[in-house]
Structure 1
């Protein structure tokens, strides 16, 4: 065999549109399989049946990347300059600060890319094949196109396979298609283009056999499989920086430009106009660089995000990447899977239709608890008035292979298919008197004929019960059972009512029966083809989670759009969306419609539709990108491998912790341990609280950096001795600022937080108000420092004493300003302050740290400080109180100005 490339000119790579014989001919193979030599030759040409590994950067390189920040560059330059000047203590401390920041980033953020490794782990390790007519078990990596594989229950399918024999084959494909139900496979050609979920004559790599047996020819291996396509999509998705990190990067660049410009100007002024000695001037400029850099900010941000992570974990949301906490607060669109996230993932019978009456069934889960009432009524039915309903329930209960059980935790569940399980639950709810039933022969369900039949002895009668698709069973029946007995079949009635049931998004399952003369135990298809008596139709659905309805309402109130993206039928998806309160006049865009439009049109349509049905992995990825093109911050939920590319592309990828695959969890930013949409709404609330506190922290840290920079600039311009040394600046920035910021991290969320719209991610964290506050407070602190400096110079204090007092005054003033930052515009001292115990903790920690730097000898030596008398503490506290009152007065003026402007 010289070639194995398939002839796919008519339908390239669309194996489902080819007959099995044509596929084998194209692949130059047969049902006897390949010769071992040919298989080995093909393996050399096409490569192993495996997904490629992605190179992982070494640990040292990932650690080094955390130094790639313009603010850290300034610190490293300052360290190099102090080393050249022989100030080794300064060098060691500055370098330590840089290393500490890098370590926090390295250990707190998970940068390792594990998604592709998890995907590779989903491939089957072995395969049962036929080669040269002999069955053998081989390593699945050695499979090649043209191999014949044998599939049995429990097998993980090792490659993409075109089936040519299938005996009651059911495959679990939800990890690829998003469909919650097992798929019944067949072997016939599908002579039209269909989506992945409808390619019933193909079996896909990574999915698993739930029931039945099959044989097929391998058509794609490794990277060419559907799983391989998803692998490629994940590999090509670039992780984006979160809004906050982008803003902090931008802020860092601006600070860098400002510092470099100021240092050049001050060097010229100090050296040429004031005749500063070069070494002293250089040390002052290093002090300026260290002072103006808010080097504690990265550590503070990581700390606040970590606290948010811990709080979310207690509320069943596990955050895998720290910046996700902040992004949650900016999320403007949530794209959610339907099954299990918005719904219970438990099929439930909601209604039963008989020949003359419609019934409602209460209950939301597999727990066999709920009344059966007349449609529109509330009272339980009188079973004596509805013998045909009782007959329907006995039929679906007897013609059934599932069971309902309660586990050790008290949770009810189903053993068997979810649809059959729902019918068992219906029978338990009915509480009909027990009958003696002896089950005999059975025709198992198969998608080719769409029904299941059971022959049984019920008391003295020999009956055949039939259950399956309503349209199929109606063709087998000429009569129906009414409450007054057997009647001629009214097909128009049933078809009209079926349309009504379908419009509610319910799946339908019908039942029929007929008495059989004699006592034969066998049953075959001719026994059910005619003469059956139609009993009724059950309407089933996976009901919405009650808490999801409340959560969606909360999201809409907060200005967040919720979009359902599902592999389910459009009618079902729209009906569920209506029950969830996702809007009025809902329509679904299908995968076919989505494929027919280009990206520019999809950008518009993506904002118009709330429901997307029959979607594939490519569709989900395109939808996320289209929403992001509309400047939306997108959250995407998912549980299957098919969701992984979209989860990675989304600003917040949200995986299901219970039913989610490892691939999905590794690609996601957040994992829900309860698979519940309401947990997302709670996480958004926490994300908004965290962002508010981050903004308060920036508002707290930057004025101090500005004040320190101004102090040095003014001192150089005036030809004075700089009132702070580089190490004292570092102490204030790292030890005290970081400690005090901890108090803001625990601030509770402000009232009305979930009634405001998502913030504009393009709006700078240093907006007009923030910039004004930074300048105002920076000038206040600078004035406080020079007031102390002037007062102590007048009292003939030495340089180290003056610097110690300036440092202490700035630290105390910063502590006072901490309370101003609790609320941006309101008066800060309120009852809510008492709920934040961290404020007391940081106050005590600050006192301890200041005592260490002022009164412990080795700290005095390292930071050039002197012990201060109690009177100096009183002076510093008094100045801090003045700073607090000045900021509160500024808040009052702004409130009044805004109130007049509003009127």
Structure 2
């Protein structure tokens, strides 16, 4: 057991000297019996596991199989090149996820590192992990409660239970027992692990520790919540399955054609596997990883830490965002929203005179009850400072606030009594100023405001008071959250508020934020007074409807729902460690507007991945059609395996990596979200793939046949090789949009792509000039005028595809007009 330090007994008087706490020996025995007072944390994935997880993809498995097949065929250059792609892809993914894990380690902190308890009749300070059932906790403002406990004494005690229940306002505590089965947020006779003491003092006997606490029970729910495969993973897996079927079909088709033509089984096998390798877009895994990694970098600049690469795109697929209220949609601190009274300055001065809280420098932060801090900030805006009041007119007597009296009063040296409290209590003690006050208080409360009445009198008695007015307080919405909710609605995304707050308060904030509008069903979009189990059920219900669900939260009670959702988003500033570990993304600014910005980023990533996949598959289809048609015509293969690999790796993959860097379109959030069942490649994309691929194949095959392969095979292959390379490089310019012409997109808006194309064209020309390379690729020298001709022929497919865009646009305009 760790060394403990006795505290001065005068600092913490014993609770009536009735409960001296446990003896040291008994505490040691109970610690062995009940275990340490800790919440079990999810272990970080070891580095080797992080690395191996990068290979859990059907596409990676397909590439590994292609690499092994190439090696067995003797095509070792092909096998090594594919292997390098696979390893580089894994390293990029590992680096990103490892960095996120390290960042999460830095965010970890103990919930309550130390606590004060009675042992052997004396107050001592000891590590919170050594608290045991039966210990007597000594509580005061600012403490983090170290375990679940039953109150023995409570003096104006209130705790902030937002991490556990979602309730934004402090909960007043008393020793009066609550009935069995009382909801967690209303158990006023107990304090709970992980909550904070906002005011007052008290003592409590520990009833549960560690995983047996309410916080621990919520942590248990994480085991029942399931990790969900992301929409991007599902769509890419379907594409990979389709490619596997295509590859298998190609192998069988070519094998059958070869055998029918009397070819030997070994040449047939080599040709079949070469074509199957050509069908695989080797650059796709790297493209996806780079796209997600770029999203991670952009998200980091927008105050979001991404723990899992796939999470960025998944957020772009979201159709429902379930969000906590306090601190995410609201500022997380109470503020005076409304004043009612004939003399607002007198109202604020009297309220500030009746406070125990203290503001920090320049009115920021501060210590004490959040409600008092809010009214002190409102007073400071009028130039009224509590410190100045204390200096000029010292206190004579104080009657503190408690849950029984529901009011506080301060008598000062000038004989004036300042009183604040609940309207229903204070109004009955006022003899003037009350006209219309009760109706006004009810109207304020109906709008979700917490109402305080303020009065003054003469002498120490709280009777025959003059009501100065009412103060309506609430945790106000973030201004940027209102805009973000509107942007989400415009993007077809439903915002669902899930909070532990009072239903009236939740609905009022929901209407102010624009979550609930005319014609909406509030029961669908606002859920108040919910428990951790209910949050989990709400997320599951939305998922059962086929929605892609994002869930945000900061409290431990949010963690199971975060794990269950397609994407979990935790608050980095106010969030608990358990919540952050359950999340895919951690917001460092706790701001709902950041989520909407991330949705736009996610949509851009998906759009870039899809258009890049189309670009890659057009090239693969063109190569396949070229080879298969040549075989059907009885011609030799127009390209050798190494030429195919060069096209796939250099002239396909490099432009593809540049394509995923395209900036996000401004209008992305003006479109509805993708349907959850929408495939990565729909009918329009497949039509483009086959039409463009066939066009490329026709042009290249024409060049190959024109060059007379029967007489000059290497020259014909050299011409066909360059034509196909130039056609695919030029096509990358128009692949950036399926509807806009390349100059409308802007040639210089993606300078990386422009640089890649220029460099690739120069490298392609250099292949014919270096003898050793020329021999490796089975090429012959080509004069510059033939290279220019091949470049011009490569423009034919590009020009045809751009004209098709204009024709489709003209047809749409005709139909609309």
TM-score normalised per structure 2: 0.89
Identify which of 778, 795, 803 aligns with 1:881: 795
| Larger deviation, residues 713-722 vs 426-435 | 426-435
In 1: Cα distance, 2:730 partner to 2:104 partner: 51
Q: Per-residue displacement from partner, 1:115-173 (whole Å, max 9, x unpaired)? A: 99899953434444445656555554444333333334444322211222223333333
C-alpha spacing 1:97/1:315, structure 2 compared with 1 (3 Å): closer
In 2: Cα distance, 1:72 partner to 1:417 partner: 57
In the alignment, what sits opposite 2:682? 767
In 2: Cα distance, 1:857 partner to 1:209 partner: 80
Identify which of 503, 509, 514 aligns with 1:581: 514
In the alignment, what sits opposite 1:5? none
C-alpha spacing 1:33/1:859, structure 2 compared with 1 (3 Å): farther
C-alpha spacing 1:857/1:206, structure 2 compared with 1 (3 Å): farther
- The answer to whether structure 1 residue 533 and structure 2 residue 459 are counterparts is no
In the alignment, what sits opposite 2:157? 169
- The answer to whether structure 1 residue 330 and structure 2 residue 283 are counterparts is no
In the alignment, what sits opposite 1:395? 350
C-alpha spacing 1:866/1:464, structure 2 compared with 1 (3 Å): farther
Structure 2 gaps of 5+ residues are 1-14
C-alpha spacing 1:51/1:860, structure 2 compared with 1 (3 Å): farther
Q: Per-residue displacement from partner, 1:97-126 (whole Å, max 9, x unpaired)? A: 322233333333469879998999534344
C-alpha spacing 1:869/1:226, structure 2 compared with 1 (3 Å): farther
In the alignment, what sits opposite 1:93? 81
Where 1:67 maps in the other structure, the secondary structure is coil
Where 2:400 maps in the other structure, the secondary structure is strand
Identify which of 347, 353, 371 aligns with 2:340: 353
Where 1:446 maps in the other structure, the secondary structure is coil
Cα offset, 1:824, TM superposition: 0.8
In the alignment, what sits opposite 1:839? 753
* Structure-to-structure mapping, 1:252-651, within 5 angstroms: 252-270=240-258, 272-354=259-341, 357=342, 386=343, 389-406=344-361, 412-431=364-383, 436-457=392-413, 461-475=414-428, 477-481=429-433, 493-516=436-459, 527-584=460-517, 609-651=524-566
- The answer to whether structure 1 residue 158 and structure 2 residue 142 are counterparts is no
C-alpha spacing 1:276/1:656, structure 2 compared with 1 (3 Å): same
Cα offset, 1:852, TM superposition: 5.4
Where 2:154 maps in the other structure, the secondary structure is strand
| Larger deviation, residues 165-174 vs 812-821 | 165-174
Structure 1 gaps of 5+ residues are 1-20, 22-29, 358-385, 482-488, 517-526, 590-607
Where 1:759 maps in the other structure, the secondary structure is coil
C-alpha spacing 1:705/1:831, structure 2 compared with 1 (3 Å): closer
Where 2:727 maps in the other structure, the secondary structure is helix
In the alignment, what sits opposite 1:74? 62
Instruction: Report if aligned partners of 1:574, 1:587 keep a CA contact under 8 Å in 2.
Output: no
Identify which of 727, 733, 755 aligns with 1:813: 727
TM-score normalised per structure 1: 0.81
Cα offset, 1:251, TM superposition: 0.8
* Structure-to-structure mapping, 1:767-806, within 5 angstroms: 767-793=682-708, 796-799=711-714, 801-806=715-720
In the alignment, what sits opposite 1:18? none
Identify which of 173, 178, 182 aligns with 1:194: 182
Identify which of 223, 237, 261 aligns with 2:225: 237
Cα offset, 1:776, TM superposition: 0.4
| Larger deviation, residues 651-660 vs 860-869 | 860-869
In 2: Cα distance, 1:428 partner to 1:586 partner: 41
C-alpha spacing 1:570/1:654, structure 2 compared with 1 (3 Å): same
In 1: Cα distance, 2:103 partner to 2:88 partner: 29
In the alignment, what sits opposite 1:667? 582
- The answer to whether structure 1 residue 691 and structure 2 residue 691 are counterparts is no
C-alpha spacing 1:179/1:280, structure 2 compared with 1 (3 Å): same
In 2: Cα distance, 1:814 partner to 1:699 partner: 12
In the alignment, what sits opposite 2:10? none
| Larger deviation, residues 630-639 vs 657-666 | 657-666
C-alpha spacing 1:726/1:68, structure 2 compared with 1 (3 Å): farther
In 1: Cα distance, 2:655 partner to 2:515 partner: 43
Where 2:638 maps in the other structure, the secondary structure is coil
C-alpha spacing 1:166/1:538, structure 2 compared with 1 (3 Å): same
In 2: Cα distance, 1:662 partner to 1:307 partner: 27
| Two-structure CA RMSD over aligned residues (Å) | 3.2
Instruction: Report if aligned partners of 2:630, 2:701 keep a CA contact under 8 Å in 1.
Output: no
Instruction: Report if aligned partners of 1:647, 1:653 keep a CA contact under 8 Å in 2.
Output: yes
Instruction: Report if aligned partners of 1:244, 1:327 keep a CA contact under 8 Å in 2.
Output: yes
C-alpha spacing 1:427/1:77, structure 2 compared with 1 (3 Å): closer
Cα offset, 1:403, TM superposition: 4.1
In 2: Cα distance, 1:208 partner to 1:293 partner: 57
| Larger deviation, residues 258-267 vs 75-84 | 75-84
Q: Per-residue displacement from partner, 1:80-112 (whole Å, max 9, x unpaired)? A: 334334443333223223222333333334698
In 1: Cα distance, 2:111 partner to 2:334 partner: 30
Instruction: Report if aligned partners of 1:75, 1:289 keep a CA contact under 8 Å in 2.
Output: no
